Amino acid sequence: MDFSLTPRVLALREELSDFVEHHVIPAEATFRAQALEGGQPPVMEELKAEARRRGLTNLFLPAPLDVAPDLCGPGLSNVEYASLAEVMGRSRLAPEACNCNAPDTGNMEVLAHFGTPEQQEQWLVPLLRGEIRSGFAMTEPDVASSDATNIQLRIDTDGDEYVLNGRKWWTTGAMHGTCRILIVMGRTDPDGDPHRRQSMVLVPMDTPGVELVRGLPVFGYHDPGGHGEIRFTDVRVPRSNILAEEGDGFRIGQARLGPGRVHHCMRAIGAAERALELLCARAKDRHVFGSALAERANVQDWIAQSRIEIDMARLLVLHTAWLIDTVGSREARAQIAAIKVAAADVACRVVDRAIQIHGGAGVSDDFPLASMYAHLRTLRLADGPDEVHRRTVAQFELRRTGRPAA
Amino acid sequence: MDFSLTPRVLALREELSDFVEHHVIPAEATFRAQALEGGQPPVMEELKAEARRRGLTNLFLPAPLDVAPDLCGPGLSNVEYASLAEVMGRSRLAPEACNCNAPDTGNMEVLAHFGTPEQQEQWLVPLLRGEIRSGFAMTEPDVASSDATNIQLRIDTDGDEYVLNGRKWWTTGAMHGTCRILIVMGRTDPDGDPHRRQSMVLVPMDTPGVELVRGLPVFGYHDPGGHGEIRFTDVRVPRSNILAEEGDGFRIGQARLGPGRVHHCMRAIGAAERALELLCARAKDRHVFGSALAERANVQDWIAQSRIEIDMARLLVLHTAWLIDTVGSREARAQIAAIKVAAADVACRVVDRAIQIHGGAGVSDDFPLASMYAHLRTLRLADGPDEVHRRTVAQFELRRTGRPAA
Amino acid sequence: MDFSLTPRVLALREELSDFVEHHVIPAEATFRAQALEGGQPPVMEELKAEARRRGLTNLFLPAPLDVAPDLCGPGLSNVEYASLAEVMGRSRLAPEACNCNAPDTGNMEVLAHFGTPEQQEQWLVPLLRGEIRSGFAMTEPDVASSDATNIQLRIDTDGDEYVLNGRKWWTTGAMHGTCRILIVMGRTDPDGDPHRRQSMVLVPMDTPGVELVRGLPVFGYHDPGGHGEIRFTDVRVPRSNILAEEGDGFRIGQARLGPGRVHHCMRAIGAAERALELLCARAKDRHVFGSALAERANVQDWIAQSRIEIDMARLLVLHTAWLIDTVGSREARAQIAAIKVAAADVACRVVDRAIQIHGGAGVSDDFPLASMYAHLRTLRLADGPDEVHRRTVAQFELRRTGRPAA
Amino acid sequence: MDFSLTPRVLALREELSDFVEHHVIPAEATFRAQALEGGQPPVMEELKAEARRRGLTNLFLPAPLDVAPDLCGPGLSNVEYASLAEVMGRSRLAPEACNCNAPDTGNMEVLAHFGTPEQQEQWLVPLLRGEIRSGFAMTEPDVASSDATNIQLRIDTDGDEYVLNGRKWWTTGAMHGTCRILIVMGRTDPDGDPHRRQSMVLVPMDTPGVELVRGLPVFGYHDPGGHGEIRFTDVRVPRSNILAEEGDGFRIGQARLGPGRVHHCMRAIGAAERALELLCARAKDRHVFGSALAERANVQDWIAQSRIEIDMARLLVLHTAWLIDTVGSREARAQIAAIKVAAADVACRVVDRAIQIHGGAGVSDDFPLASMYAHLRTLRLADGPDEVHRRTVAQFELRRTGRPAA
């Protein structure tokens, strides 16, 4: 057993940390101010340029892609990239700056694995360049989408075309000003085997019938690049826009899952680390009843508990990343379910403690804590609520345990 | 021991419930839409008129006031009014509609108890009429204000005038379009006895030097009528604007505390009740893996736990209200501290469970849950964080317990 | 709403507190030492005599019984008696000393309501006198007994006799040296309506075929008068030993439930109060790192949280007792389910904190805390586990809530 | 980063698992029955012989010892041994069977590092052989021993002898029938530097003045080989019985700490794993309301949560063991403090859930769960309560965090 980081990860981590602390975090206030004026805040382009200059873009890719090898990073394993995703999680701006933000990473991986050369040339290359953004239209407002067999959007065949009708929401990235392409999950074969009914097709945002109904706030936050609700009315795309084969929707969704889950979780842990630093700084700074908050035993308990929980959650995610690298996502299904429950829970708790220490300042926007909480709380729902993942973990456990000897 | 409600409370509660369910809650969407256009949403004036028509305004007053007896309610005890405050807590619009919202209620009580006839005529009467609103400027950005001796805003005497210099924030109500008057807590005698240093003075909002710096968002929510940050620069008011005597600031603050705490807590419980209803409705409506969420044992545990916690918290608050009525706020200090910890905690937990059941819809504004959570979470900080109140409760407990017999 | 105690309860409570503090608690060490020597500790008879002398026995009875009016208390309502049960809960010896211990109280009530004059003369009178003890044989080792329809012990009819075959465990009181009579729940009509299959019969302990297999320890504790496992092999009793009618088993069980649950819960709260006193005393006494534990903010948080939780749980139980008094056990089913969840949970948490403050002494027998914890933890299982009660509460809640207005 | 086990650990783990499942666990009932008859249960000698035969003794030693190389294992790193300690934790009998039980392991390490050749020959060799047992007399009844400067037992010098006076308790192992030697911590220099006041001396159990006052129960459990209270009255030992130098007591205590903490924690995790297996088996076996407990969503949540928590705690302990191996105990102080908080907490929670699923059987001795709980709960106190360790973790964290960039 060896918990040390490889030299190349150590070097990248140092570079990335420097970028995040000295460029990204200082740009947050500017970003917020520009966002209030509407549109995509220009400061992001500056950050993207700096990240590119430092060789910090597209690091999530497990191997350079033939279609554009010069745009890709060195090809890191999941466990290697995980430590970098944590650093990116410190600021909500860092993932996009490094072209490593959801859902683009997952969409790029899907295009790399399942896309035709034409699809890759048209959509993957500009995504790798950070010129456009993309959306992943999966969740629907009218059903509990955590049970994938509930999906209702229809993809009917009409000659050489697919015709889409239905409604999606929580389509992350759809509100982004440069979002050009959606991967849409829908039903091509309503009566087929429950796991072969769905397909994924590419739908350009400017296709007639694609209507961006509204942006969805998260606890009052309307982010540029946030979640959208989209109505599809007789949306027609050529059948060549299918990803892999008809009926492969569920399979692609599963393949997409593992690494993306690791990224989400490590970013949550990075956010928690920053929250803990803020907590400690404030606790040293503020005094009540004759002593600094940091000297009070209840605050010390919170700090210790936060440190312990963060370290445990990080190790769980890293171990899962290592399993994906060594035995594959399929064998690590239970662990991939487990980490989202653990990481989101821990991160919410740590940030909540940091808010409490900050008093009124904690719920305002003078600190990133309230926004962190809103998004981390949402992580407990996005991509399946905790309960669905706990159910998966329990089913594996129940299958695994035979008759104990007691 | 008798837990039944008096007939007059039962009647008022029925009237009030009808008003809230059939007028206030249906107006929430309109209010939100109007608020986006800026200014105070006009629908509120309609609600206020309807509340007046039904005799549902100013019910918080423990006795009719000589200054305007026709504007006052029947004079309810704290334990009687508590059950009505719970109903008002179901919608964030109801308290203002009924002219029972913080901080106006506390400010009106202060004016009624400590104001001169002139002060009452000028400010209390229009407040009772709901024509103007008021702010209570206590918390400061630069110190931990939960320790009142930390207060820094200076109130210096210059001839017949007071001169105020300093900064306040989380001044609830200051952002309201019709806010005309502030009660400001500051230091008149920096070297005096720690609990006699502070005074409260009346400062009209339009006094030169009063600068409304900004509104403070709560988890991304910018409410009309929300919390403001205010800078006071050489603000001059006549010395007749003092409330009671110089040095009475702390004493007035204490007197203001008990009933207001009961109102806050009961409103939190009303919000929790509504959240639980929404939880149950959604759980009956949504299906996963072949059954309604309401049939799943974990969801049933949440529902039961929510019911149990809400009932316990309500009884604790009602008992405290009864103590205020029978032995007075001073004797009930520990209980008044306890209820805010308990009620805010319970309400946050119940609303959080309701959010979880609603999935993405829960964190959006399609339901009132995310907004409820944001404001209830803030209640754990407003008016002193949980930790300060727990400290109070513990100190009473430690003083109370002698040598046990074991 | 009125939270005050009636004068007669205040007087009884004072007398009882004096008895518990100055007689019962000081006798605990003697009791423990005598118990180690086997048999029923003689000191209990002294306590019983003192309780009788002070008029503190059989206070649980809601009204004097015709069969022996001089042995009964004044006839207290449930809400009145509840405050006395709390005081008795301070020591594990007090309930028996006051002839108010489970399961004798429940058994006496059953005999009073459903017993024939002969059954009352034979068993109820000596029970009221405290001369004999009784057991309630309900739970079975081979099935989840929380689902009453699982009950398997057979009660077959053979001429004028019933023949019992089966196994029971957790029969509280069966290990008591003077236990003479069991109320046994079994199936008389295996194919009948699920709630009419069971009956209750009286079985003297000395009936041939009744075999006391073993005492059941609770976390290592073997109490005199503790829980027994009993095997019934062709046990024959006359059919006149039936309680009420055949098929009434479930009905009698329900009737027995409400008041007994209130007693259990109030005793748990009394235990928690004593634990909190011990916690405070130890916290004032012990010093680490230069200050008393009582001055440390985390310990203060525990104390405050304990006080808050105890007060909430007490009010919930008192409110339920009042409901039983005013609308009856049937209408209060959900509340009767709720209080056991709440009271056992709170008591376990408070005692656990007290243990933590006591260090090693807390888990030993130098303090009553470890024993308290063991028995309170068992209360979360006895008489149905938490989960069954939460399910009941949730079902009521789901039925109650219609369509909310949101 | 590499989470795989070395081949030699995999082989040892398989052998050890086989031994524990097929010899140790089946012997538990026999052990309990023999213990009731008093003295050390003979079955333990059979287990010890089998463990020796399989080469499973003294595996905790990091390197073979010169004094008796043939008695030692292969010399495993801390991270290697940790996985074996987990397996031993499955049964309370396994550690002694494998001569790897506390406090003997720690005492043997102390003797190996700090003992003279004579001390090693006299005490270490028979300990390695499993012929004798030892005690570690540190905690005192009259002070909060978690603050080591509170230690009061006096070690005075009188010519060539030390004279000990004082009282110790929770001396694990002292009650064991073959306990022959104590390592006693006491004050040799009451006025010296706070961390140089204490020394450790070897005191044979049969020295005049050593009085075994009583065994200390844990939640009602009196274990053979359990914790003792010992009075030292003018106990005289030659000055050659000192370990290292006078004033080294605190230093030796620190050195002893790291590996022992890892062992304790991994055993706790092994116990939790067994509890989870029992939970799953019972949940599959028992039915209520028409379905197996294992199909109920709340039980599934418990199972998943248990799996997640166990895996996180294990990784945290393994990481700490790896730190001890690579940077040393001193550098890993915060982590060594953290793991006891985490592992004991997780293990208590998992076992508590398993108890709940087992109903009455869970708190009895029909399953090992109640006993597990009692001992794991004690682990939250032994060797310093959680609060002391959290304080250590917090102090490191506060020192580590500078000014955050936000």
Nearest CA-CA partner of B283 in B267, B306, B266: B306
| Residue B122 covered by a domain | no
Which DSSP helix (H) or strand (E) runs through A158?
strand A154-158
Write out chain A residues lying below 8 Å of B373, CB-based: 219
Paired with D307 in beta bridges are none
Interchain contact, D170 vs C219, CB within 8 Å:
no
Three-state secondary structure along chain C? Answer: CECCCCHHHHHHHHHHHHHHHHHHHHHHHHHHHHHHCCCCCCHHHHHHHHHHHCCCCCCCCCCCCCCCHHHCCCCCCHHHHHHHHHHHCCCCCHHHHCCCCCCHHHHHHHHHHHCCHHHHHHHHHHHHHCCCEEEEECCCCCCCCCCHHHCCCEEEEECCEEEEEEEEEEEECCCCCCEEEEEEEEECCCCCCCCCCEEEEEEECCCCCEEEEEEECECCECCCCCEEEEEEEEEEEEHHHECCCCCCHHHHHHHHHHHHHHHHHHHHHHHHHHHHHHHHHHHHHCEECCEEHHHCHHHHHHHHHHHHHHHHHHHHHHHHHHHHHHCCCCCCHHHHHHHHHHHHHHHHHHHHHHHHHHCHHHHCCCCCHHHHHHHHHHHCCCCCCHHHHHHHHHHHHHHHCCCCCC
For Cα atoms C345, C346, C351, give the angle at the middle one, nearest 5 degrees: 105
At residue B405, does pLDDT exceed 50?
A: no
Distance from CA of C6 to the nearest CA of D (A): 39
Length of chain B: 406
Query: Which of A319, A398, A405 minimises the CB distance to D3?
Result: A319
pLDDT band at A236 (very low <50, low <70, confident <90, very high): very high
Gap between the Cα atoms of C318 and C265, Å rounded = 10
For residue B363, is it within any domain?
yes
Considering the domain architecture, whether residues C190 and C238 belong to the same structural domain is answered as: yes
* B297 CA: distance to closest CA in chain D (Å): 5
| In a shared domain, residues B48 and B100 | yes
Instruction: Check whether D405 has a pLDDT greater than 70.
Output: no
Is a pLDDT exceeding 50 seen at residue C404? Answer: no
pTM over 0.90: yes
Residue B401 contacts D where some CB pair is shorter than 8 Å: no
Per-residue confidence (pLDDT) for residue C356, from 0 to 100? 98
Which residues from chain A sit within 8 angstroms of residue D278, using beta carbons? 404, 406
Alpha-carbon gap: B133 to the closest alpha carbon of chain C (Å): 28
| Facing residue for C219 by CB, picked from D169, D289, D374 | D374
Query: Is there a single domain that holds both residue C52 and residue C187?
Result: no
Q: Are residues D236 and D262 in the same domain?
A: no
Question: Between the CA of residue D286 and those of B295, C380, D295, what are the distances in Å?
Answer: 19, 18, 10
Q: What share of chain B is helix, strand, coil (3-state, %, to 5)?
A: 55, 15, 30
Distance from CA of D378 to the nearest CA of B (A): 22
Yes or no: say if C167 and C231 are a contact pair by the CB < 8 Å rule. Answer: yes
DSSP output for B65-129: -TT-GGGS-S---HHHHHHHHHHHTTSTTHHHHTT--TTHHHHHHHHHHH--HHHIIIIIHHHHT
D337: in domain:
yes
- Exposure class string for A268-288: b at 16+ Cβ within 10 A, else e: bbbbbbbbbbbbbbbbeebeb
**Distance between CA D180 and CA A205 in Å, rounded?**
81
Q: Is the same domain home to B202 and B102?
A: no
For range C298-315, the mean pLDDT: 98
Which of A115, A146, A171 terminates a domain? The answer is: A115
Instruction: For residue A303, list chain C residues with Cβ-Cβ distance below 8 A.
Output: none
The pLDDT tens digits for B303-333 are 999 999 999 999 999 999 999 999 999 999 9
Among the candidates D62, D84, D115, a domain finishes at D115
Q: Provide the 8-state DSSP code for D6.
A: P
Which of chain C's residues have a Cβ under 8 Å away from the Cβ of A297? 296-299
Q: Do C312 and B4 touch (CB under 8 A)?
A: no
Residue A126 lies in a domain: no
According to the model, what pLDDT value does residue B402 have?
Answer: 61
Contacts of B93 in chain C (CB under 8 A): none
pLDDT of the residue at A55: 96
B331-359 pLDDT, tens digit per residue, is 999 999 999 999 999 999 999 999 999 99
Task: Report the distance separating Cα D267 and Cα C18, nearest Å.
Answer: 47
Instruction: Note whether C333 and C400 are within 8 A (CB).
Output: no
CATH number at B350 reads 1.20.140.10
| Euclidean distance between CA atoms D321 and D86, whole angstroms | 13
**In chain B, what residues touch D301 (CB-CB under 8 Å)?**
298
Is residue C245 predicted with pLDDT exceeding 60?
yes
The stretch C72-84 carries a mean pLDDT of 95
A313 found inside a domain: yes
Which two structure tokens, joined as six digits, stand for A281?
């700084």
> Across the interface, which of C143, C298, C374 has its CB nearest the CB of D219?
C374
Cβ count near B191 (within 10 Å): 6
What pLDDT does residue B289 have?
84
CATH number at residue D149: 2.40.110.10
- Please indicate, yes or no, whether residues C101 and C22 belong to a single structural domain of this protein: yes
For chain B, the domain total comes to 3
Nearest residue of B to residue C367, measured between CA atoms: B406
Quote the CA–CA distance of C109 and C101 in Å, as a whole number.
12
Residues B257 and B391 in one domain: yes
pLDDT surpassing 70 at residue C318: yes
- SS3 at position D84: helix
CB-neighbour burial class of residue C167 (10 A; exposed 0-12, middle 13-18, buried 19+): middle
CA dist., res. D32 & res. D238, Å (int): 40
Residue C128 lies in a domain: no
Q: Is residue C182 part of a domain?
A: yes
Q: What does the radius of gyration of chain B's CA atoms come to, in whole angstroms?
A: 22
- Pair A229, A254 in one domain: no
Chain B within 8 Å of C387 (Cβ-Cβ)? yes
| Higher-confidence position of D362 and D73 | D362
Cβ contact B235:A236 at 8 Å:
no
Please give the residue range of the domain that contains residue B64: 7-115
Contacts of B328 (CB under 8 A, 6+ apart): none
- The answer to whether residues C381 and C261 belong to one domain is yes
Cβ atoms of C303 and B397 within 8 Å: the answer is yes
Among candidates D280, D313, D397 on the partner chain, residue whose Cβ is nearest the Cβ of A401: D280
Give the residue from chain A lying closest to C300, CA to CA.
Answer: A298
Task: Name every chain C residue with its beta carbon within 8 A of the beta carbon of D387.
Answer: 296, 298, 356
- State the DSSP code for A294: G
Give pLDDT tens digits for C109-151: 999 999 999 999 999 999 999 999 999 999 999 887 777 778 8
> Within this chain, do residues B144 and B98 fall inside the same structural domain, yes or no?
no
Residues 76-95 of chain D with CB under 8 A from chain A are 79
Per residue in D292-341, pLDDT tens? 999 999 999 999 999 999 999 999 999 999 999 999 999 999 999 999 99
Across the interface, whether the CB atoms of D356 and C289 are under 8 A apart is answered no
Asked if pLDDT for residue A150 goes beyond 90, the answer is no
Dihedrals φ, ψ of C184, to 5°? -115, 130
The reply to whether residue C301 touches residue A296, judged by beta carbons under 8 angstroms, is: no
Query: Which residues of chain D does C395 touch, with a Cβ-Cβ cutoff of 8 Å?
Result: none
pLDDT for res B71? 93
Distance from CA of D302 to the nearest CA of B (A): 10
Question: Which residues on B lie below 8 Å from D299 (Cβ)?
Answer: 297
Residue of chain D minimizing CA distance to A23: D405
Q: How far is B380 from chain A (nearest CA, A)?
A: 8
The answer to whether C394 contacts B4, with C-beta atoms less than 8 Å apart, is no
Side chain identity at residue D310, one-letter code:
I
Give mean pLDDT, residues A316-344: 97
Cα C98 from chain centroid (whole Å): 13
For residue A406, the model assigns a pLDDT of: 40
Q: Tell whether B296 is within 8 A of chain D (Cβ).
A: yes
3-state SS, B224-276, equals CCCEEEEEEEEEEEEHHHECCCCCCHHHHHHHHHHHHHHHHHHHHHHHHHHHH
Mark which residues 350-379 of A lie under 8 Å from C by CB.
none
What's D108's domain CATH number? 1.10.540.10
Between B216, B286, B363, which is nearest A377 by CB?
Answer: B363
Tally C-beta pairs within 8 A across C and D. 128
The torsion defined by the Cα of D26, D27, D29 and D34, in degrees rounded to 10, comes to: 170
In terms of Cα–Cα distance, which of A130, A121, A160 is closest to A238? A160
Cis peptide bond N-terminal to A103, omega within 30: yes
Asked if B170 lies within 8 A of A360 by C-beta distance, the reply is yes
**C295: contact with B, CB 8 A cutoff:** no
CA distances (Å), D74 to each of C89, D59, D258, in order? 57, 7, 20
Q: Chain C partners of D378 at a C-beta cutoff of 8 Å?
A: 360, 363
DSSP string, D233-289: EEEEEEGGGBSSSTT-HHHHHHHHHHHHHHHHHHHHHHHHHHHHHHHHHHHHH-EET
**Rounded Cα–Cα distance for residues C186 and C201 (Å):** 8
Least confident of B187-196, B334-343, B369-378, C114-123: B187-196
Taking only residues 312 to 351 of chain D, the set having a beta carbon closer than 8 angstroms to any beta carbon of chain A reads 312-313, 315-316, 318-319, 322-323, 326, 334-335, 338, 341-342
Q: Cα distance from A298 to chain C (closest Cα, Å)?
A: 4
Residues facing D202 on adjacent strands:
D183
Please state, in angstroms and rounded to a whole number, the distance separating the CA atoms of residues A188 and A245: 11
Cross-chain Cβ contact D406/A311 below 8 Å: no
Q: Show which of C243, C258, C278 is a domain's final residue.
A: C243
Residue B243 pLDDT: 97
Q: Is the pLDDT of residue A387 over 90?
A: yes
Question: Taking Cα atoms as reference points, which of B205, B172, B135, B178 lies closest to residue B45?
Answer: B178
Best A288, A289, A296, A353 member to test C by mutation, with max C CBs in 10 Å, is A296
Neighbours of chain D (3+ CB pairs under 8 A): A, B, C
- The answer to whether residue B128 sits within a structural domain is no
Torsions phi, psi for D169 (to 5 deg)? -145, 175
Same domain? A338 vs A218: no
Tell me the CA distances in angstroms from D129 to A25, D54, D108, D259, one per residue in order.
Answer: 61, 15, 11, 21
Contact call for B301 and D296, based on CB within 8 A: no
The DSSP line for B259-325 is HHHHHHHHHHHHHHHHHHHHHHHHHHH-EETTEEGGGSHHHHHHHHHHHHHHHHHHHHHHHHHHHHH
* Residue contact A286–B170, C-beta within 8 A: no
Q: Predicted ipTM?
A: 0.95
Residues B177 and B283 in one domain: no
Dig out the tokens for A72 from the structure.
């890709």
**Under 8 Å between Cβ of D280 and A374:** no
Across the range A85-98, mean pLDDT stands at 98
Residues of chain D with Cβ-Cβ distance to C144 below 8 Å are 286-288, 293, 359
Q: Which residue has the tokens 């006799």?
A: C161
